[in-house]
Amino acid sequence: MSKALKLCMLAGIAVTAFASPALAQEGGKALISFSGAFGAGIAMLGAAAGIGKIGAAAVESMARQPEKAKDIQGAMIVAAALIEGATFFALIICFLAGA
List pLDDT tens digits, range 34-87: 677 777 888 888 899 999 999 999 999 999 999 999 999 999 999 999 999 999
Indicate the fold that domain 34-99 takes in CATH. Answer: F1FO ATP Synthase (1.20.20)
Neighbour count for residue 47 (Cβ, 10 Å):
19
Q: Which residue has the higher pLDDT, 56 or 97?
A: 56
pLDDT at residue 8 in the model = 81
| Contact in structure between 72 and 98 (CB atoms under 8 Å) | no
- Cα distances (angstroms) measured from residue 96 to each of 27, 36, 48, 56, 78: 22, 8, 22, 33, 27
Rounded distance between C-alpha atoms, residue 68 and residue 62, angstroms: 7
- Cα distances (angstroms) measured from residue 88 to each of 45, 60, 81, 85: 12, 28, 10, 5
pLDDT at residue 52 in the model = 93
Q: Which residue has the higher pLDDT, 21 or 75?
A: 75
Q: Is the pLDDT of residue 19 over 80?
A: no
pLDDT at residue 82 in the model = 93
